[in-house]
Amino acid sequence: MKNFWYLFAAYTFIWTAVFAYIYTIAQRQQALEQDIKALQQAMERRIGKGD
């Protein structure tokens, strides 16, 4: 079991890196979807006011 910590470190790094990436893109996705929805609602309201 020598060098166990190296194996652990490598493994931890992989999972951290991948999940950090997934997290950042999930954040981006949420922000984008919110913005799109907000814009869509704003546009519908404007059309509702009659243009």
Partner 1 sequence: MNKLGDSWLLSLIGLTGLAVIVSLYLVFVYVPTELIMGIVQRIFYFHVPSAWVGFLAFLVAFVAGIAYLMQREPRWDMVEVSSIEIGVLFSTIALVTGSIWARPIWNTWWTWDPRLTTTLVMWLYYVASLMLRRVVDSEDRRARFGAILSIVGFVNVPVVFLAIRLWRTIHPVMFSSEGFEMAPGMLLTLGSSLVTFTLLYLCLLVIRVRIEYLSSELSRLRQLSIPARS
- Residues contributing to the site for partner 1 (CB under 8 A): 1-4, 6-7, 9-11, 13-14, 17-18, 21-22, 25, 28-29, 32-33, 35-36, 39-40, 42-43, 46-47, 51
Taking the complex as a whole, how short is the minimal distance between the CB of residue 1 and partner 1, in angstroms?
7
| Distance between CA atoms of residues 26 and 31, nearest Å | 9
Decide: helix, strand or coil at residue 3: coil
Least separation, in Å, of the C-beta of 18 and partner 1?
7
Is residue 51 classed as helix, strand or coil in its secondary structure?
Answer: coil
What is the smallest separation between the CB atom of 34 and partner 1, expressed in angstroms?
Answer: 10
Alpha helices in the chain, H assignment, sequence order? 4-49
